[in-house]
Structure 1
Amino acid sequence: MTKEFDQILSESNFSDKDQTLIQEAWESKLSEAKEVMASELREEFATRFEHDKSVLVESMDSFLTNKVVEEMKEFAADKEKLIAERVQYRNNVKKHTQMLNKFVMETVAKEVKELHGDKVNMKENVTKLENFVLQQLSEEIKDFHSDKKALVEQRVKLVREGKAQLQEAKKAFIKRAAKVTEATINKGLRSELKQLKEDISTARENEFGRKLFETFRTEFLSSHLNEGTEVAKVTKQLAKQKAVNESLQAKVSKGQKLVESSQVKLRASADLATRKEIMAELLTPLARDQRGIMSDLLESTNTKKLKMTFDKYLPTVLNETVTTKRATQKAPLVESRRVEKTGNKVNTGVAQQSEVVELAKMKKLAGL
């Protein structure tokens, strides 16, 4: 529309000033018309907006009211249903709790009965095991004591028999060695005498040559070297000092050897005296045969362990000598008795006491 108005003005015969005035008036009128139309449109749109707003508010209000009413009804129904379910749950919980308590009590009572039975069975089994172990230990201890006693008796017997056989072997060896030694000595003496004759002749020849050399040396020294010179004096002094030093060293070494040998002899003599004193103290109460057997048994024993070894072999040596004496004597006639043979070992009072001590130690170690 503005273009058409501009075209009309350009085609008209108005001056530029008039065209400008007309143009300005046109624009002012046009702007006023636009403002009027805009205000009218705003009023119309505002009226429509208010109407639409009121309609929308009413519709939203009715919609929300209906929804809230429906939700409240559903909420009330759910609440009533929840209350009913809660009451029913409480009733069911009481029943279930009673049933659970009953089941738990029955199960616990059953388990307690089984535990008590297992405890009784375990106690019986432990008692049986303890009795079995004690019985086995007592049998093993009895066997050990009997084996130990038999071993000591066998050793004493071997020492006695070995002593007799050793005496016989010594006699046979002395006879055989005397013959062999006599033949060897005769043969050796012949060869030694022959060699001695040869050595004597050789020594005589050497002695004759040595005398000739000494005579020649003496004559040479007396004729060529003057004893009054300084060299001869120094030589003599050196020889004397050397001889003195050698004699002193020999005396010192000899003294050290004497001191060492005396110390060794003192220790050996002290040990020997102590051993003799202990042996005399231990063997004095015994008989001659018992003394010989015991001295042979204690021969290879250390001095510190003499008393312990003596106490170990004393009962066996005494029993052995008594049995041998009884065997040599004539046995008196006695009436025979029937003895029931059961295969059980006879226990002496000492063995029973030692077994009781061993069993007490075993129980203490086992924590019983």
Structure 2
Amino acid sequence: MTAERTSLEASAWPPLREELRGIAPYGAPQLDVPVQLNVNENPYGPSAEVVADIAASVAEAAVDLNRYPDREFTDLRTALADYLNTDGGLGLTADQLWAANGSNEVMLQLLQAFGGPGRTALSFAPTYSMYPEYARDAMTNWVVGRRETDFSLDLDAARELIREHRPHVVLLPSPNNPTGTALPPEAVSMLCEAAATDDHSGIVVVDEAYGEFRRAGTPSALELLPQHRNLVVSRTMSKAFALAGARLGYFAASPEICNAVRVVRLPYHLSAVTQATALAALRHAPELLGRVDDLRRERDETVGWLREQGLRVAETDANFALFGTFEDRHAVWQGLLDRGVLIRETGPDGWLRVSIGTPGEMTTFKNALTEVMKAGS
């Protein structure tokens, strides 16, 4: 074996797909600091009563862990439909719901079913950084348009981009991550109509991971499901439900879309433990969602305070705020970290994102940012 051949084989190990070589895995920094405000978690954990119900439900499920779980998770789909019908849904039924291990798996399944080689997915930047990775993993062409300077959509430009590229999947977070911008209903309807023409069919996925945090008067895209058969509205139990560790994401759509996704799901993809945990949490929905109003108030107070410091802040319907702009945002991020506060360095150049925490955590953040800004002035 020649030295040249040995070198070539070594450089090709392991035999990874070429387009994946050199790419770092996705992930926000996981650092042990006193105040962690970087991944949009709910800072309020479940109560002792909720924990006890989850534990009892999991214990009951554990008796039959030698058997595979209900692969259609019918009880959970029914409970999710009942919940959504209290928050924008209009008569949703179990056959219009689908769930998976977090919104990440939901999105990947949608792209596996409706994307793929020779097909296109489309979104508008800045937006969630995982979307192009979902497309890549499903071998789907990725097209990205641009948002306006206030992070809204130019609807005419969006329509033209869809007409030009004829995507099979359009991904639209509302509220948007990392900006917090919500989509008005007329925008969702227009994009659904643009994505489905006489000679082309595409689905529009409105990702409402932060939907429960939207401001009063901001409707959910769930209300539009009866009007658009190509609309999918996704949610998660990671944020408002304070169940990030449980990994349960789901979507509402037509029965035909739900059935299509069943083709690409892995066998028994939702464990019995996950199903039991989610069902127990849904039984306590009013309590678990009880802190949402507190987080909305804290968010609005934080936005007001940031603006009082002379900073720009994007309008937000989520449990985070995107703020800036800074000549050296990394220096600001590092300065906060040095003071025990971890936020997210994400979004357009010069911007930073802070998750909304408890009042005490937000006070610590404000004090630290004041110090950092004074040190840099």
| TM bucket, shorter chain | under 0.3
What is the TM-score of this pair, normalised by structure 1? 0.18
The structure richer in strand per residue is 2
Q: Which has the larger radius of gyration?
A: 1
The structure richer in helix per residue is 1
